[in-house]
A and B are shown apart, each in its own frame.
Chain A
């Protein structure tokens, strides 16, 4: 089916805009994400990208047209193989506008044109962020909540008495004025809880909503400082590889089944072990950059990022290449527990030669981590996802995990990173090749 391209709303308040320029002509091929056109509002000029792909079949609104209504059809995109003749059959009439509210004026509007409008449905509280998209949006606003709000004096007083943020109340009075009844309704529907004390919260001078301040902890400050330095100072590059997990998952299952509760290894444990082994195979990846020298470490001490209430912390599995999977698993659990309890000792989280950050459990497919200095690389691990692939000419489902290595280019070159990932992938896809599986403790 041909796709209608509509005039986009570039901000919540935009009702119309000017179509400044078309970047595609009729007949041009369009890919998703291609620049289609430029739209101008009174505040900004924005580029419009194609969401779908196909061929630009027909341009309905010419370049340079002013005051084009939001949601007006500006063009039609033909899908692959579609003929331009389908456009002629399409309904290209404007989407119907909402019927304006019946004015109670004396010039006798038709009875039929005044359908019963229920007002009850609009009463209540609207809890939403103020529009953020337009830079000038705030200039007309007053930072405090009490002025510039269209509310009756009593509604304001009542809201203040109950610590209710009146900005969030929907007015049902004349012209949308917030009345006592609206505030009472808001207090009733929210129990005052959501918005309670919001008035007491600080506000900045830019019309931003009130906020809850929380002093930066030292941990937070260290994280901020180190990551900023890392991202600014270290020339990062990123390598991504996909690993099939099916063999690993089967092995994990049989191990855990056999353990009968004695232990339970996770995919992450395999990732730690495989990383440690791969670093042993490609020692040039197990390095740190210093001004005078590149230090290549003799053991694979793996820092594993653990999210805690206080911030990110990376307990270390020392000499992970030499430890059995089960030992690693148990150690990891213990360290993660201590990390969350805040009882890690400095030697348990300071040091480490390589980091792993795993967001697979959140369903993250793929991401790029920031190198954890002075280490030379960090592995970002995504979720295992089932995929349909062709195997020996037959379709088959495999579980694929995507990992991305972020590398400090000062001490690790692309080829080294690639070698590491190849070794890693091999261990993950052939987990029994991790030699010490047989001697699980």
Chain B
């Protein structure tokens, strides 16, 4: 006997559980299949626990820089186990919250892994045991993604870690190499650096955080280097010589090989979609480079089967997955839905200094043929930033000179991840520079820089 539902969601991450709750709100009978942990990577092994860790590492940084605020403290120290356990506690607390939300919304949760058995059918299994057979008119695949593994960068989770082990270290490495300077790599680099490790970041592209605006990348790199981090760009890890409790990393840069002996290596070289063992072969669903191919409403090539979140492609962001979940479900319910505008998806990186952005970079705007106006405003000219002792950073805005469309916003500095939403709201409401200029920003706040940056784009900045 099969259990029948209007909708079955496979995967309980920020894409899947949001889709399930929304579907239930719309009157569907919904099942959610999750074999590991509700909340997915984001909540258990990603966004949330890393933020807990980064907070503690920032506290450590502050304790070592108390002098600038007029404090002295002798011999501050930390207990790595406590830091990690705090981080795990945060994740557990939230995972329990998801369970409660699903229950409240009458979503039936199956503890197991879902495998498609032809269109409209799903087998749920765990440890080779059959849990249930499900039938549904609509099935959403939200199986997420995992760390990409490169052959010359063999992960063993002892000496060479991926994010999961990097989040739960048993002992503090004195030195480490972080391979990859995307959001994940650079956050771990910041975390370990702020806890006192000697960190070297190896990036294959010519700059760190390659998806960000060039200027932001440059500022970030300069800041990391000033803090004492080593950054090697246009560099590749050619191989590893693993020792007993250390690793020799062979790095090629500008045709020259460098050997670096470190305690640990973190591999953060991108991610691949979880498309295996979910029965895609029993359907017409298409996969391209480890990601499920979907249309603008998350529909796959098999009618009745949808994919959202990381498994459906970049950008691999929790909020993108959640939004796709909403769009997908509302489309199924027949509501009037608009496809997602990828230029309105913000990206946040919680390294120190933080980086946040939305829309086109300056280069991409130029490449797209826009005649642009660019505004910049530095943290060091902002009263609140100076008062906080956070004088490093910049807010950069890019406008279409013709229409005044806010094409992109790029920020680096303290708390920018909390500020970017202002520009995202503006972009979603299709603001032009005029409305932003007419907006009254509260004083004294860091957000005043957002105003000044817009003013600067039109040569009207007051405080610079």
Do B334 and A153 touch across chains, with their CB atoms under 8 A apart? no
CA distance A172 to B338 in the complex (A): 9
Is B459 on the interface with A (CB-CB < 8 A)?
no
Find the A residue at minimum CB distance from B22: A104
Is A108 on the interface with B (CB-CB < 8 A)?
yes
Do A161 and B27 touch across chains, with their CB atoms under 8 A apart? no
- Shortest distance between the CB of B194 and any CB in chain A (Å): 41
Do A154 and B431 touch across chains, with their CB atoms under 8 A apart? yes
CA distance A180 to B343 in the complex (A): 13
Do B430 and A102 touch across chains, with their CB atoms under 8 A apart? no
Do B334 and A114 touch across chains, with their CB atoms under 8 A apart? yes
Is B26 on the interface with A (CB-CB < 8 A)?
yes
- Shortest distance between the CB of A134 and any CB in chain B (Å): 30
CA distance A295 to B321 in the complex (A): 93
- Shortest distance between the CB of B427 and any CB in chain A (Å): 9
Do B432 and A153 touch across chains, with their CB atoms under 8 A apart? yes
- Which of A106, A110, A173 contacts B25, CB < 8 Å? A106
Which of the segments A19-27, A115-123, A206-214, A242-250 contacts the partner chain?
A115-123
Do B334 and A116 touch across chains, with their CB atoms under 8 A apart? yes
CA distance A114 to B336 in the complex (A): 10
B contact residues around A152 at 8 Å (CB): 429-431
Known: A111-B6, A117-B336. A153 touches B434 (CB 8 A): yes
Interface residues of A in 157-176 (CB under 8 A from B): 157-158, 161, 172-173
- Which of A101, A109, A173, A179 contacts B27, CB < 8 Å? A109
Between A102, A157, A158, the greatest number of chain B beta carbons within 10 A of the residue's beta carbon is seen for: A157
- Shortest distance between the CB of B280 and any CB in chain A (Å): 25
Interface residues of B in 391-445 (CB under 8 A from A): 402-405, 429-432, 434-435
CA distance A188 to B28 in the complex (A): 38
- Shortest distance between the CB of B431 and any CB in chain A (Å): 6
Residues of B in contact with A, size category: 20 to 34
A contact residues around B26 at 8 Å (CB): 104, 108-109, 111, 114
CA distance A225 to B6 in the complex (A): 75
- Which of B24, B330, B335, B403 contacts A154, CB < 8 Å? B403
- Shortest distance between the CB of B330 and any CB in chain A (Å): 7
- Shortest distance between the CB of B297 and any CB in chain A (Å): 11
- Shortest distance between the CB of B206 and any CB in chain A (Å): 34
Do A110 and B27 touch across chains, with their CB atoms under 8 A apart? yes
Do A102 and B333 touch across chains, with their CB atoms under 8 A apart? yes
Do A153 and B435 touch across chains, with their CB atoms under 8 A apart? yes
- Which of B28, B333, B336 contacts A119, CB < 8 Å? B336
Interface of A is mostly: loop
Encoded as 1 (CB less than 8 Å from any A CB) or 0, chain B from 326 to 352 comes to: 000010011111100000000000000
B contact residues around A110 at 8 Å (CB): 27
Do A102 and B435 touch across chains, with their CB atoms under 8 A apart? no
Find the A residue at minimum CB distance from B427: A154
Is A155 on the interface with B (CB-CB < 8 A)?
yes
Interface of B is mostly: loop
Do A179 and B430 touch across chains, with their CB atoms under 8 A apart? yes
Interface residues of A in 286-300 (CB under 8 A from B): none
Do A154 and B25 touch across chains, with their CB atoms under 8 A apart? no
A contact residues around B333 at 8 Å (CB): 102, 111, 114
Find the B residue at minimum CB distance from A155: B430
A contact residues around B405 at 8 Å (CB): 154, 157-158, 180
Find the B residue at minimum CB distance from A154: B430
Known: A111-B6, A111-B28. A104 touches B404 (CB 8 A): no
Do A157 and B6 touch across chains, with their CB atoms under 8 A apart? no
Find the A residue at minimum CB distance from B402: A161
Known: A110-B27, A154-B405, A157-B403. A101 touches B336 (CB 8 A): yes
CA distance A180 to B406 in the complex (A): 12
Interface residues of A in 363-420 (CB under 8 A from B): none
Find the A residue at minimum CB distance from B332: A116
Encoded as 1 (CB less than 8 Å from any B CB) or 0, chain A from 90 to 128 comes to: 000000000001101010111100111101000000000
CA distance A109 to B429 in the complex (A): 28
Find the A residue at minimum CB distance from B403: A157
Do B27 and A111 touch across chains, with their CB atoms under 8 A apart? yes
B contact residues around A114 at 8 Å (CB): 26-27, 333-335
- Shortest distance between the CB of A177 and any CB in chain B (Å): 9
B contact residues around A104 at 8 Å (CB): 26, 330, 335
Do B27 and A154 touch across chains, with their CB atoms under 8 A apart? no
- Which of A117, A172, A181 contacts B335, CB < 8 Å? A117
Known: A109-B26, A153-B432, A154-B432. A102 touches B335 (CB 8 A): yes
Do B432 and A157 touch across chains, with their CB atoms under 8 A apart? yes
Interface residues of B in 5-43 (CB under 8 A from A): 6, 24-28
- A sample of 12 more A-B contacts (CB under 8 A), given A119-B338, A154-B403, is A104-B26, A104-B330, A106-B25, A108-B27, A109-B27, A111-B26, A114-B27, A119-B337, A154-B404, A157-B405, A161-B403, A179-B430
The 9 closest A-B pairs by CB, nearest first: A152-B430, A154-B430, A157-B403, A116-B334, A108-B27, A114-B334, A153-B432, A119-B336, A111-B27
17 chain-A/chain-B pairs, Cβ below 8 angstroms = A108-B27, A109-B27, A110-B27, A114-B26, A114-B334, A117-B336, A119-B338, A152-B429, A152-B431, A153-B404, A154-B403, A154-B404, A154-B432, A158-B403, A161-B402, A173-B338, A181-B338
